[in-house]
Structure 1
Amino acid sequence: MNGKQLLLKFYTGRELMTVQMYLAHRRWFEMGFWALFFLVQWWAQFTVVYLEHRNGESGFEAWEFLVWEGTSILSVAMLLPLLLVWDRRFPLSQGRVWRHLAIHLQLTLPWSLLHVISMVAMRTGIYQLRGGTYDFGNWPVEFFYEYLKDFRTYGSLLSAVYLYRFLLIRMQGEARMLQLPDEGQPVEPVERPERLLVKKLGKEFLVNVRDIEWVEAAGNYVNLHLGDRIYPLRDTMTKLLERLDPEAFVRVHRSFIVRLDSIAEIEPLDSGDARVYLKGGRQIPVSRRYRDQLRAQLAPA
């Protein structure tokens, strides 16, 4: 398939294998991207600093610049999961943007403090292994300098995360429930819609609700899983469950809804929770709060 055919297939609303392959291995691609990103950042920053001091007048050796930049980048990489956790707790969603943005601004301070502490600890250990000592300098002055950089870094990483999510939604398509038409009667009950309207790259097409295998909460969205396809829906788990057929779907966890027909096996756990195995091989946690409800719906009438 040449480039023009690939582009045409992408814009006709048909399933693009490369997109689905990416989504199927999304976590590995994401980890690979961030690993490569931080490695490039490390080398680029080291190169800049080294070239600025290559005449040797600073009195520092090349390995020291490599350690300084490397420990700083590594500390940021280690703190990236924390930023993602805070974003899930305080998403910049409609109606809460300014309030949660103010919280993120406050979180830059502890984030920077953790960055500096881990960075200095690693540098101190490396210098000791080489028989020397590391001096961070005047802590109030140096921390203020590092905080200014960390403030920009935090904002840049958070912006990159939201840009990535926007592009991902554009690629895989965003679903929405069918609404009442502007004129005339609806072709099906809107309270229990049988189809979802999916918009992908300017094209719209319908997917069957009965093809949904499980649903996962994801910040401002819920992700609808239909085989190897994933469609984000801007909704809450509670509101979505109200519109799904209660005879077909059940909530099993604060963050998960499953289609009863997709369940292959339920495994009780010693903790009182359980685990659901779907026919496609996926494992879904079942919390004690929803375990009895799941058993009741699976019990024969």
Structure 2
Amino acid sequence: MSYAPDAATDADAAIPPARPVAPPTAWDRYQPWRRTAEVASWVLLFAANAVGGTLTTIIDIHRVGLDIPDWAPAIWEGSSCLVALCLVPALVWFTRRVPLRFDTWPRALALHLLGSVVWSMLHVSLMVGLRKLVYAGLGESYDFGSWGLGYVYEYLKDVRSYVYMVLWIEAYRLLMRRWQGEASLLAPPDDLPEPALPERPERFLVRKLGKEFLVAAAEVEWLQASANYVNLHLRGRDYPLRTTMATIEAQLDPARFVRVHRSYMVNLDCVGEIEPLESGDARITMRDGTRIPCSRRYRGALRQERRAA
């Protein structure tokens, strides 16, 4: 059963035809392949490191004349890179929780220093465990040596890898935001007196690949919280705005924009259908067909605002 108040009795409440969808851009065409490309890039990066590290280690062993079989460096480098690759999702999650920003860099630096220690300890412990298993399968015994000294030695190498990976992740995110387009609030004119300043933003400034254009606030169809950003969705595009959901909710017109979930707000003019669920929550279908969750906490307020509209 769907809830669409006054749809049958009020002609003004009839749902207009869906807006024409803009032709796909390079960004749109990349999205279906984005996860595959991201995973493949990490796999190729660590595979290249494993191969390069193995070859250089074998060369050093032969140059010095050590009695170490050629398969041993392959196990050392392969186990290290495989464990590091498996820890990448945790690092990506941590960088979302602790992003590198100019206004909070001292706190972020301290947390990342602690994070590098934890990451290195996990890396070394799992790496050594994997090596012991492989050596045992080959009928050999792997000796890591002193754990205390070994941890310190490995950390001095791991901390550099940690820094490189964090910078790689942040650089990729910055590239994605620039490619996708980043929104910001328009700065008020310097010559405008304080009492005359509008309380709510009428437009957002969007920067995309070196270009700037204005987006009317009324054109935003819905908003979604994402870490330290709120994504403004309009005409099939998402534009991240560096703010919190609570902050932007206080700035937008409450007669038009309604909070429907801890992470979502919707433009009432763009809501097509509200479907109640047995759990007490609801599912909102926007006019372009997108489905957005509505928690029971906000469902009553949404119904009331739709009737008032």
Which TM-score band applies after superposition, normalised by the shorter structure? 0.7 to 0.9
| Residues 46, 173 of structure 1: alpha-carbon distance in 2 compared, 3 angstrom cutoff | same
2:277 equivalent among 268, 285, 291: 268
**Does 1:67 pair with 2:75?**
yes
| Residues 130, 275 of structure 1: alpha-carbon distance in 2 compared, 3 angstrom cutoff | farther
List alignment gaps of at least 5 residues for structure 2: 1-21
- CA–CA distance in structure 2, aligned partners of residues 121 and 294 of structure 1: 54
| Residues 102, 181 of structure 1: alpha-carbon distance in 2 compared, 3 angstrom cutoff | same
Q: Equivalent residues in 2 for 1:173-188 (5 A)?
A: 173-183=181-191
For residues 253-295 of structure 1, give each alpha carbon's deviation from its aligned partner in whole angstroms, at most 9, with x where no partner exists: 333333342454546364x655545454545444554454445
- The one-letter code sitting in structure 1 at the alignment partner of 2:172 is Y
Q: Equivalent residues in 2 for 1:124-273 (5 A)?
A: 124-183=132-191, 190-260=198-268, 261-262=270-271, 264-266=273-275, 268=277, 270=279
Q: Which is worse superposed, 288-297 or 164-173?
A: 288-297
- CA–CA distance in structure 1, aligned partners of residues 278 and 157 of structure 2: 46
- CA–CA distance in structure 2, aligned partners of residues 269 and 115 of structure 1: 45
| Residues 287, 108 of structure 1: alpha-carbon distance in 2 compared, 3 angstrom cutoff | farther
Q: Which is worse superposed, 278-287 or 220-229?
A: 278-287
- Look up the SS of the partner of 1:95 in the other structure: helix
CA RMSD of aligned residues (A): 3.1
CA drift of 1:162 comes to: 1.7
Check the 8 A contact 2:203/2:216 in 1, yes or no: yes
For residues 132-178 of structure 1, give each alpha carbon's deviation from its aligned partner in whole angstroms, at most 9, with x where no partner exists: 22221211111111111111111111111222222222222221123
Partner of residue 28, structure 2: 20
- Look up the SS of the partner of 1:151 in the other structure: helix
1:31 equivalent among 18, 39, 54: 39
Check the 8 A contact 1:175/1:231 in 2, yes or no: yes
Task: Report which of the two structures shows the higher radius of gyration computed on alpha carbons.
Answer: 2
- Look up the SS of the partner of 1:169 in the other structure: helix
Q: Which is worse superposed, 196-205 or 213-222?
A: 213-222
CA drift of 1:54 comes to: 4.0
**Does 1:107 pair with 2:115?**
yes
- The one-letter code sitting in structure 2 at the alignment partner of 1:30 is E
List alignment gaps of at least 5 residues for structure 1: 1-13
CA drift of 1:65 comes to: 1.4
Check the 8 A contact 2:271/2:284 in 1, yes or no: no
Check the 8 A contact 2:274/2:282 in 1, yes or no: no
- The one-letter code sitting in structure 2 at the alignment partner of 1:17 is T
For residues 204-229 of structure 1, give each alpha carbon's deviation from its aligned partner in whole angstroms, at most 9, with x where no partner exists: 21123333333233333222222442
- Look up the SS of the partner of 1:59 in the other structure: coil
| Residues 132, 264 of structure 1: alpha-carbon distance in 2 compared, 3 angstrom cutoff | farther
- CA–CA distance in structure 1, aligned partners of residues 91 and 228 of structure 2: 16
- CA–CA distance in structure 1, aligned partners of residues 59 and 113 of structure 2: 34
- CA–CA distance in structure 1, aligned partners of residues 113 and 165 of structure 2: 13
Check the 8 A contact 1:214/1:224 in 2, yes or no: yes
**Does 1:43 pair with 2:73?**
no
For residues 35-85 of structure 1, give each alpha carbon's deviation from its aligned partner in whole angstroms, at most 9, with x where no partner exists: 222222222222222222246933322322122111111111221222222
1:84 equivalent among 66, 89, 92: 92
Check the 8 A contact 1:222/1:234 in 2, yes or no: yes
- CA–CA distance in structure 1, aligned partners of residues 209 and 193 of structure 2: 29
CA drift of 1:300 comes to: 6.4
Q: How many residues get paired?
A: 286
State TM-score, norm by structure 1: 0.81
Check the 8 A contact 1:250/1:294 in 2, yes or no: yes
- Look up the SS of the partner of 1:96 in the other structure: helix
- CA–CA distance in structure 1, aligned partners of residues 139 and 212 of structure 2: 65
For residues 5-35 of structure 1, give each alpha carbon's deviation from its aligned partner in whole angstroms, at most 9, with x where no partner exists: xxxxxxxxx9982133224543333222222
Partner of residue 57, structure 1: 65
- CA–CA distance in structure 2, aligned partners of residues 48 and 286 of structure 1: 56
Report 1 or 2 for greater relative contact order, CA contacts < 8 Å, sequence distance ≥ 6: 2
